[in-house]
Amino acid sequence: MHIAIRGAVQGVGFRPFVYRLASEMGLPGWVTNSPQGVFIEVEGDRSNLESFLLRLQVEKPRLPSFRAWSSRP
């Protein structure tokens, strides 16, 4: 699954949060910053990916603010 997040997500600990969450859930992939935002690529079964998306939104550190969010398989 590819996830793109735009907003105030750089320099606020969001990328380490994503890494820890994916590792905890056993989802391989990567996360990177770019001038356009944060890009996440994770692999797993559908139910784990849906849980990952939900937890990204609910458990994120309080400083990041999402302006735009998209995901695709």
Query: Is 21 in contact with 47 (CB distance < 8 Å)?
Result: no
Look at strands 29-34 and 37-42 and give their pairing: antiparallel
Which candidate, 59, 14, 64, 61, places its Cα nearest to that of 40?
A: 14
Tens digit of pLDDT at every position of the chain (73 positions): 999 888 766 666 788 889 999 999 999 999 988 888 889 999 999 999 999 999 988 888 765 556 566 677 7
pTM of the complete model beyond 0.85: no
Mind telling me the catalytic residues?
15, 33
